[in-house]
Amino acid sequence: MPEKKETTTHKTLIEVEHISKSFGSNHVLNDISLTIGEGETLTVLGKSGVGKSVLLKLIVGLMPLDSGIVRYEGRSIAEATEKELNEIRKNIGFLFQGGALFDSMSVGENLNIILHKHTDLPLEERETRIIRALELVGLKDKLDEMPSALSGGQKKRAGLARSIVLKPKLILYDEPTTGLDPITAGSIAELILSLQTELQVASIVVTHDLPTAFTVSDRTIVLESGKKIYDGPVEGLAEAGHDHLGEFLKAAKLDRSRREEIIKNAHKM
């Protein structure tokens, strides 16, 4: 494990400048800008259908932008050649909303194909890393299972293991805890946070799950009707007075105590 660093100011990893995206007459995102620093965790909140998944896909170049620019370490994603884009993407993990496991391969092969392709690690070492990644998401015993034999939540966790197995610099999580019971959801939130504190992984976490948002966020943005209506610390949401979110938060009496607790424990390890 690399040394732990306490980072407050972050070197910029991703810059998103004034991006817009429409599907026909459906104007999904309108002039969105944001930045992510190295080792920083940004949560993205917003109602279903507001364009959160689309935002993540635009950031990794899975969909063409209508306007604006996305830069990874200063390089424009849209202008990158296929080869450059692949180089960039090796540093990015992506958890899809449905897990998106390759269903012609076992869970272990889903992880192995990525390690095999992008590293020169010998087989035993790959195995160790695969088992370690599955352990982190609580699926060690599913190594040889086919995806069709997994539950929805297990698929998502296997997808999560696949997105972290290469130890990327940036991980994009599309609703990592949706559909999971609160205990498993809590352990996933813990995993996201420990990846950040121990490996300085930067993350963008799309979520509806406020406890998760409160646990993992350095910063939060809120999307509404295609616009970014909030960008700041998660604690500030309650005072920002937007939408019903403030009231919802007050009602839920959420705070950051859990986060402090996890970080404290992580440092003891």
Partner 1 sequence: MNVLSRSTVLNFLEKIGGLSRFSMRFFRTAFRRPFETKELVKQTYEVGVRSFGLVAIVAIVIGAVLTMQSRPTMMKFGAEAFIPAMVAVSVLRELSPVLISIIVAGRVAAGIGAELGSMRVTEQIDAMEVAALSPFNYLVVTRVLACMIALPLLTVYADFLALVGAFIVQNIEAGMSGRLFYNSVMSSVNFADFAPGVVKTIFFGFIVGIVGCFEGYNSEGGTEGVGRSATDAVVVSSLLIIIADVLAVKLTVFFFDIA
Ligand X SMILES: Nc1ncnc2c1ncn2[C@@H]1O[C@H](COP(=O)(O)OP(=O)(O)OP(=O)(O)O)[C@@H](O)[C@H]1O
Q: Does 48 bind ligand X (CB under 6 A)?
A: yes
With CB under 5 to 8 Å by kind, the binding choice for 102 among Mg ion, partner 1, ligand X, none is partner 1
Q: Does 30 bind Mg ion (CB under 5 A)?
A: no
What is the smallest separation between the CB atom of 139 and ligand X, expressed in angstroms?
A: 23
Determine the number of helices (DSSP H) and then strands (DSSP E) in the chain.
10, 10
Q: How far apart are CA 179 and CA 184, in angstroms?
A: 10
Q: How far apart are CA 212 and CA 179, in angstroms?
A: 13
Q: How far apart are CA 234 and CA 221, in angstroms?
A: 8
The DSSP line for 36-99 is EETT-EEEEEE-TTSSHHHHHHHHTTSS--SEEEEEETTEETTTS-HHHHHHHHTTEEEE-TT-
Find all residues with CB under 8 Å of 53, minimum gap 6, and list them.
97, 174, 206
Region of 51-59, 102-110, 136-144, 211-219 interacting with ligand X (CB under 6 A): 51-59
Q: Does 225 bind ligand X (CB under 6 A)?
A: no
Question: Which is nearer to ligand X, 111 or 221 (by Cβ)?
Answer: 221
Q: Please give the residue ranges that form the binding site for partner 1 (CB under 8 A).
A: 57, 60, 62, 85-87, 89-90, 92, 94, 96-98, 100-103, 113-114, 117-118, 159, 162
Q: Does 52 bind ligand X (CB under 6 A)?
A: yes
Question: Which is nearer to ligand X, 52 or 258 (by Cβ)?
Answer: 52
What is the smallest separation between the CB atom of 66 and ligand X, expressed in angstroms?
A: 12
Q: Does 114 bind ligand X (CB under 6 A)?
A: no
* Residues engaged in binding ligand X (CB under 6 A): 23, 26, 28, 46, 48-54, 97
